[in-house]
């Protein structure tokens, strides 16, 4: 892989990724406005008996009886060994790919990974470099995109198939208003249209909608199931008083859609619906690797954004070390380094939408863990036998009954009650996500023998 000639296209892509970090943005304005905003938010939090705004956030999001900071650090420590193995494997593959033609990257087998090599603007997920790190490049891959086209699927066929998945579990069908008012294809009437996939509850008990610019491919096929998971949550808790018509905590709404996606995208399910005609062990590891590049690679990023902001609110970080502390946490948690030199004249956290938008982010970290707890519980209800990552609870009325009971609670009960309803546990646990990726962890440990795990 490292012997391929240095192409102009590859060189241009790398240069463009670096340019993101060199781009001239109104950083001074962002920083100056942000300093004032932090002061105002802390003042409001203290007026309401919180030590700072970070403490207020944590209480609102998770009723911080557990001390959310310590809980998240504990969860991360349990998952860090898997991330470290993934990091070491990916680093080695990137060295093979780039070190000969791009010595200026200074890639070493004990170092950090330059953030711009991971195929995502924020290096928060790494699926876009799957072709570089694929465990078995010669394993025959069934192309779901090709299968969709060969079987003459159109967008609405995919939407109806997603609806059928939920109905097969005994859950509610989409309402007539859903079919009448959802926008599944980008309008061609010239109006401005935001294509980011979203689900909406109109709060009248029967009008629920999805908006997305769907195309016939497996990515959008998965996204439809995910967004319909939000709609199922809306429908199931629609009888609650309006104040309780939301997820049990800020993580659970996202976790439900992802839980369904975990089942939908298994080889087991895709084979049942004719989109995955062949399975083998090598392909199985490939699928787990692709999932890890999304789910495991994200975890430290999902944690560090709010870890950085919590420390900004409590005064550990101030205007003198905003950017250096950002990169300190990115190195500490992700093992990444900036592509070019950074200083306090830069404000790299502002490149992530949720920071200038002042939107909490730890919900995603919790969601990426709890969804595997939900998934394992539904698999147990469906009496699945075999490796967890191969479970498909399609057509399981028992799994649907369990899920529906939890969804109907909305936020009317503490989130621990909702967790217990579906999993039998009251705590967020990493046991399910570790079990899901156990075959990949074993494979990575074999591949990384003799490799330096971690970074200097």
Average pLDDT over residues 89-95: 97
Look-up of token digits 């590049």 = 293
Where would I find the beta strands (DSSP E) of 300-450? 336-337
Provide the pLDDT confidence category of residue 138 given band limits of 50, 70 and 90. confident
* Burial class for 70, CB neighbours closer than 10 Å (0-12, 13-18, 19+): exposed
Q: What is the pLDDT of residues 350-362, one digit of tens each?
A: 999 999 888 889 9
Provide the pLDDT confidence category of residue 62 given band limits of 50, 70 and 90. confident
Average pLDDT over residues 416-430: 96
Evaluate if residue 244 carries a pLDDT over 80.
Answer: yes
pLDDT number for residue 8:
42
Provide the pLDDT confidence category of residue 12 given band limits of 50, 70 and 90. low
Q: What is the pTM of this model?
A: 0.89
pLDDT number for residue 428:
95
Evaluate if residue 29 carries a pLDDT over 60.
Answer: no
pLDDT number for residue 275:
85
Q: How far apart are CA 299 and CA 92, in angstroms?
A: 21
Evaluate if residue 256 carries a pLDDT over 90.
Answer: yes
Q: What tokens appear for 103 in the block? A: 């010595």
| Number of helical H runs and strand E runs in the chain | 18, 4
Average pLDDT over residues 230-241: 96
Provide the pLDDT confidence category of residue 23 given band limits of 50, 70 and 90. very low
Q: How far apart are CA 332 and CA 327, in angstroms?
A: 8
More confident residue, 276 or 431: 431
pLDDT number for residue 33:
57
pLDDT number for residue 25:
40
Q: Residue 276: what are its φ and ψ, rounded to 5°?
A: -150, 80
Q: What is the pLDDT of residues 63-85, one digit of tens each?
A: 755 589 999 999 999 999 999 99
Q: What is the pLDDT of residues 43-58, one digit of tens each?
A: 999 999 999 999 999 9
Evaluate if residue 10 carries a pLDDT over 60.
Answer: no
Provide the pLDDT confidence category of residue 7 given band limits of 50, 70 and 90. very low
pLDDT number for residue 31:
53
pLDDT number for residue 259:
97
Cα distances from 360 to residues 30, 54, 82, 371, 393, in angstroms, run: 18, 10, 25, 18, 32
Where would I find the beta strands (DSSP E) of 292-396? 336-337
Provide the pLDDT confidence category of residue 142 given band limits of 50, 70 and 90. low
Q: Minimal CA–CA distance to 324: which of 307, 346, 306? A: 346
For the chain, what percent of residues have pLDDT higher than 70? 90
- Tell me the CATH number of domain 1-171+232-456, given options 1.10.1370.20, 3.40.50.300, 1.10.10.10, 1.10.3720.10: 1.10.1370.20
Q: How far apart are CA 444 and CA 351, in angstroms?
A: 32
Q: How far apart are CA 20 and CA 161, in angstroms?
A: 39
Instruction: Judge whether 184 and 159 are in contact, CB under 8 Å.
Output: yes
Evaluate if residue 455 carries a pLDDT over 90.
Answer: yes
Q: What is the pLDDT of residues 150-204, one digit of tens each?
A: 899 999 999 999 999 999 999 999 999 999 999 999 999 888 888 999 999 999 9
Helix, coil or strand: residue 428: coil
For the chain, what percent of residues have pLDDT higher than 90? 78
pLDDT number for residue 2:
39
Average pLDDT over residues 285-291: 94
Evaluate if residue 26 carries a pLDDT over 60.
Answer: no
pLDDT number for residue 14:
53
**Sequence-distant (≥ 6) Cβ neighbours of residue 300 within 8 angstroms:** 76, 83, 333, 334
> Would you list the domain boundaries of the chain?
1-171+232-456
Q: What tokens appear for 169 in the block? A: 């579990």
Provide the pLDDT confidence category of residue 319 given band limits of 50, 70 and 90. confident
Evaluate if residue 274 carries a pLDDT over 70.
Answer: yes
Q: What are the residue numbers of the active site?
A: 196-197, 226-227, 230, 254, 354, 364
The per-residue DSSP string of 157-192 comes to HHHHHHHHHHHHTTPPPPPHHHHHH-B-S---SS--
Average pLDDT over residues 119-132: 95
Provide the pLDDT confidence category of residue 283 given band limits of 50, 70 and 90. confident
Q: How far apart are CA 96 and CA 385, in angstroms?
A: 39
β-strands 208-211, 336-337: how paired?
A: unpaired
């Amino acid at each position: 892989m490292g012997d391929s000639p240095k192409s102009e296209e590859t060189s241009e892509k790398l240069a463009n990724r670096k340019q993101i970090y060199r781009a001239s943005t109104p950083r001074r304005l962002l920083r100056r406005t942000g300093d004032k905003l932090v002061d105002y938010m802390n003042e409001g939090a203290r007026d309401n008996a919180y030590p700072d705004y970070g403490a207020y956030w944590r209480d609102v999001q998770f009723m911080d009886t557990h001390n959310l900071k310590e809980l998240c650090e504990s969860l991360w420590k349990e998952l860090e060994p898997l991330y470290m193995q993934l990091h070491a494997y990916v680093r080695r593959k990137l060295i093979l790919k780039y070190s000969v033609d791009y010595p200026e990257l200074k890639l070493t087998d004990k170092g950090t990974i330059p953030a711009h090599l991971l195929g995502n603007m924020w290096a928060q997920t790494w699926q876009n470099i799957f072709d570089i790190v694929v465990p078995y490049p010669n394993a025959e891959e069934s192309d779901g995109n090709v299968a969709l086209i060969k079987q003459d699927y159109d967008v609405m066929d995919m939407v109806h198939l997603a609806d059928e998945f939920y109905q097969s579990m005994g859950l509610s069908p989409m309402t007539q208003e859903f079919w009448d008012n959802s926008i599944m294809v980008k309008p061609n009437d010239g109006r401005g249209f935001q294509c980011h996939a979203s689900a909406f509850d109109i709060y009248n008990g029967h009008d629920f909608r999805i908006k997305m610019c769907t195309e016939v491919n497996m990515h959008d096929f998965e996204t439809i199931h995910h967004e319909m998971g939000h709609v199922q949550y809306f429908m199931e808790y629609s009888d609650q008083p309006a104040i309780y018509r939301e997820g049990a905590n800020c993580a659970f709404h996202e976790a439900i859609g992802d839980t369904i996606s975990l089942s939908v995208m298994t080889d087991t399910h895709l084979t049942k619906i004719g989109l995955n005609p062949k399975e083998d062990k090598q392909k199985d590891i490939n699928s787990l690797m692709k999932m890890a590049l999304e789910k495991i690679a994200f975890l430290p990023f999902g944690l560090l954004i709010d870890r950085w902001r919590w420390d900004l609110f409590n005064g550990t970080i101030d205007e003198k070390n905003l950017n250096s502390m950002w990169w300190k946490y990115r190195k500490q948690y992700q093992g990444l380094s900036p592509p070019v030199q950074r200083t306090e004249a830069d404000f790299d956290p502002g490149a992530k939408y949720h920071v200038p938008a002042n939107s909490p982010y730890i919900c995603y970290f919790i969601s990426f863990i709890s969804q595997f707890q939900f998934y394992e519980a539904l698999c147990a209800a469906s009496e699945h036998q075999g490796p967890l990552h191969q479970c498909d609870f399609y057509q399981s009325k028992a799994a649907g009954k369990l899920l529906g009971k939890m969804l109907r609670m909305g936020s009317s009960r503490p989130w621990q009650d909702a967790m217990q309803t579906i999993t039998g546990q009251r705590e967020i646990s990493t046991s399910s996500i570790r079990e899901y990726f156990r075959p990949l962890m074993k494979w990575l440990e074999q591949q990384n023998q003799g490799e330096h795990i971690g970074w200097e």
